[in-house]
Structure formats: structure tokens, C-alpha cells
Amino acid sequence: MRQIPRVKICCISSVAEARLAVAHGASALGLVGKMPSGPGVITDDLIAEIAQQVPPPISTFLLTSETSAASIIEHHQKVNTTTIQMVDALSEGTYRQIRAQLPAVKLVQVIHVIDERTVEEAIEIAQHVDALLLDSGNPNLQVKELGGTGRVHNWELSRKIRESISIPLFLAGGIRAENVREAIETVEPFGLDLCSSVRSNGQLDEQKLATFFEAVFASK
């Protein structure tokens, strides 16, 4: 029997939204720090406030666009989440340095799925982090797109990555009630991550959230 994936609701922008997402079944919440583009950014003060109010065992993910180990550590120290989600590639320093400074914090690296080369990249990075999150951004654009696109990527590549690594994998990018069953059947991810499809006018929409969770449970 297939496992029902965990669900991470991203772009949480208030304590009330955090409570709503958890009440509907979210096991993790995404809190988006400063980004070059995207709809879900909130201040570090608000990230810290929400993270402080979320009870265990719910995980809080700081989404950071920082790319050096030192600046990632510094960003996390301002907000104190359970987990760091790095939405861009690490360009200076090492994951080991981040772990040494923040031993209790889980590290999740986002990989933007573009083509076959992404599979090799994912296999290499999986050796250093606690989970991978496969998304549909494009870090090669002049103004980087690092998430919250509402677009689906090639799930066959995501499946290949899932089969090639031994750490948990979250699937993101354009996941919604209408395609979640296919996403689960195609990739069999540990977790699902979504932002755009459960929002209306920028706010978390309770009806969309309920419909999404119904679709997840119906996929069993």
C-alpha cells in the first residue's frame, strides 16, 4: 500500500494562516524570507513570530535565498525555525559548516528540475542534506525565479531522482487538488509542497485547503 505523503504548506504569512494549515493536516509550514521574486515573502520578524508559536511536531521551514554558509547561518539565527530550506545553490562554504553551527536544524536543499543534468546534481547534493525539495524555478534567469511559480516540471525526472537517492524527497511546483493524485502516483514523494493553489488574492483559502487535503487522502 502506498504511503500518504506529508504536506508542507508554504508562503504562510500570519499566525492565523499557520493555525489554519495545521488544522487541515499540514505537517510542515514554509516561511519565505527575502527573495529576488515571488509572491510569498514576509519579514524575518514575522517569520520568527510565527515559528515561535508553532507547536511540535509541526516543522517550520525558513526559505532562504542566501547562498553562503555564513549568511545562511546568520539568516537562521534571526528566525529560529526547525528547518532551513535553501532555495538556491550553495556557492560559498559547506553544508558541514552550517551543521556545525546549527546542529539541531534540519537542512533541505531545493533543486529546480530543468533537464537530465538535474538528476546528477540531485544525487550529489543528497549526500549532504536531510531532504531534497524538487521545484520548478529557474535560477538561470537574470531575475532569479526560486519558487512559488505555480508551474509543474517534468515529474519523470523527479521520479528518477526519487529512485536514485535515499533521503526524503518533497515534490513542489504547481501541485493542486486536480493533479495531486497523478503527482503522488508518478513520483511517490515523501512530501508535497505547495503555495499558489491554496490561495485566493494572496490569502490562504480554507475551502481550497480542504479540497486539497481531501484529494490527498482520496489518493490512497
Ligand X SMILES: O=C(O)c1ccccc1NCC(=O)[C@H](O)[C@H](O)COP(=O)(O)O
Give the footprint of ligand X on this chain (CB under 6 A).
Answer: 10-11, 30, 32, 35, 38-41, 63, 87, 135, 146-150, 172-175, 193-197
Closer CB to ligand X, residue 109 or residue 197?
197
Q: Determine contact, residues 152/179, Cβ cutoff 8 Å.
A: yes
In whole angstroms, the minimum distance from the beta carbon of 176 to ligand X comes to: 8
> From CA 15, how far away is CA 167, in angstroms rounded?
30
CB atoms within 10 A of CB 220: 10
Q: Determine contact, residues 90/121, Cβ cutoff 8 Å.
A: no
Closer CB to ligand X, residue 87 or residue 98?
87
In whole angstroms, the minimum distance from the beta carbon of 36 to ligand X comes to: 8
Closer CB to ligand X, residue 93 or residue 150?
150
Residue with cell 537562521: 76
- Beta-bridge partner residues of 170: 133, 191
In whole angstroms, the minimum distance from the beta carbon of 75 to ligand X comes to: 14
Closer CB to ligand X, residue 66 or residue 193?
193
Tell how strand 199-200 and strand 203-204 pair up: antiparallel
Q: Which amino acid is at 164?
A: S
In whole angstroms, the minimum distance from the beta carbon of 87 to ligand X comes to: 4
